Structure 1
Amino acid sequence: MSGTGRLWLLKSPGRWVTLYFLSIAVIAALKLSGAIASPVGFILLAAATFLLFPLARRGADGCTSQAMAAYNRRIVFSSFGYVLGLGIAITLWNRYELSDPAVFAISLLPTLPTFGIIWAMGRYLAEEQDEYLRHRTIMAALVALGIVLAIGIFWGFLEMFELVPHIWAWWVLPVWAIGLGLAQLWQKVRGA
């Protein structure tokens, strides 16, 4: 591969996102198979988040607006805080006998970065000058919300009728983010 081809490969945001999701899949498989324990899994998840840092460093160019570049930075740093906060909170919860106020405090570790993700989306929609890009983002966010609502309602009824186990409510953010990514990918493939 030529030097230009390698540079394009390294600079392409899709490649870094793909590597990130592949890393998450491998880490999840290792965790589910019992090959790694919780602290190691969270450390690996936090390390995998570094694969998204090239998105945070990417500035506005022909394919990325100024608002999107700022959004990417905000999302990457908030996502890193979420993974790190979740790992710290679960590790502390599993290893120590904590008082109720301490449990409340550690539950804020992954929650506060979630607020950063919500704020980043709102800021992007307020800052984006291109109506077409703003429309695409709103449509993708609505599809992601629909996915979360549909899965949540369906799972809730299955749970109510005791067909499936209870799951924690924090699943909403990862499912919404995956839905947002899939909706954006669908728009890109369709050329809409």
Structure 2
Amino acid sequence: MRRDQKIPFHRSPGFWTALLMGSIAVIAALKLLGAINSSTGFILMAGAAGLMIPLYRSKLAAMRARNVVSMAAANYTRGMMMAAAAYLVGLGLAISLHRNYELTPIIRLVLALLPALPIVGMIAVMAQYLRDETDEYLRHRMIMASLGGLAAVLGIGSFWGFLETFDLVPHAKGWWSVPVWALGVGFTRLWMHRSDAGEGE
């Protein structure tokens, strides 16, 4: 595989990944601190989800620049972004309806499935990618990014749990594990991208 050709940072996947993950982190922090309500958080998350479009395009452009157009990677990127968008919409819709309307248990069960099903979709998309990707280097990078996301969930989740035990922070809902995992994956990808760029200099 050829090393990445030089492309402007503002057009690179690393830039759009950092912008997307940073936006999600800021919105999550504002929500946890009570600075914004659920409706505002949903609107902001929907806006942040729009950043996945230039991210997807930049990833394809980067693969073409390296002369490495992996069909498995293209399918993974498209599938993961569709699942992530469905997750954000489902999560925002479920929370907004639950907090603003009196709903029956059956409807609440259906609402709980709205963001949960896209998570299953993310797992399926990742499994399909690892099965279909023939480039061992690209598969290795995906595994490392996924481990970065897992490390973020385990590390931050455990630390937050201890803070809760000592009554230092409010309780965090379990569904925050998905945004934390996504942040871990995104920052791991960004770190690997910057490391590769540094080695190429």
- Secondary structure of the equivalent of 2:177? helix
Q: Is the 8 A contact 2:24 2:179 kept in 1?
A: no
Cα distance in structure 2, aligned partners of 1:153 and 1:10: 35
Worse overlay, 148-157 or 99-108: 148-157
Which amino acid is the alignment partner of residue 38 of structure 2? S
Cα distance in structure 1, aligned partners of 2:75 and 2:53: 13
Aligned to 1:101: 106
The correspondence for 1:146, drawn from 144, 148, 151, is: 151
Cα distance in structure 1, aligned partners of 2:99 and 2:154: 30
Alpha carbons of structure 1 residues 47 and 153: separation in structure 2 relative to 1, 3 Å? closer
Aligned to 2:38: 38
Worse overlay, 172-181 or 56-65: 56-65
Alignment map for 1:1-192 (pairs within 5 Å) = 12-21=12-21, 23-24=23-24, 27=27, 34=35, 37-56=37-56, 58=60, 61=64, 62-191=67-196
Q: TM-score, normalised by structure 1?
A: 0.80
Shift of 1:169: 0.8
Alpha carbons of structure 1 residues 142 and 23: separation in structure 2 relative to 1, 3 Å? closer
Worse overlay, 166-175 or 137-146: 137-146
Worse overlay, 53-62 or 70-79: 53-62
Percent identity of equivalent pairs: 49
* Root mean square deviation, CA, Å: 2.8
Shift of 1:106: 0.4
Alpha carbons of structure 1 residues 63 and 50: separation in structure 2 relative to 1, 3 Å? farther
Q: Is the 8 A contact 2:88 2:115 kept in 1?
A: yes
Which amino acid is the alignment partner of residue 43 of structure 1? I
Cα distance in structure 2, aligned partners of 1:183 and 1:175: 12
Q: Is the 8 A contact 1:55 1:73 kept in 2?
A: no
Which amino acid is the alignment partner of residue 44 of structure 1? L
Which amino acid is the alignment partner of residue 119 of structure 2? T
Alpha carbons of structure 1 residues 152 and 18: separation in structure 2 relative to 1, 3 Å? closer
Deviation per residue, 1:130-170 (Å, 9 max, x gap) = 01111121122123212211222222233233333221111
Which amino acid is the alignment partner of residue 114 of structure 1? I
Cα distance in structure 2, aligned partners of 1:148 and 1:9: 28
Q: Is the 8 A contact 1:82 1:114 kept in 2?
A: yes
Shift of 1:125: 0.8
| Structure with greater contact order relative to length (CA < 8 Å, sep ≥ 6) | 2
For structure 1, the 5+ residue unaligned runs are 1-6
Q: Is the 8 A contact 1:79 1:113 kept in 2?
A: yes
Q: TM-score, normalised by structure 2?
A: 0.77
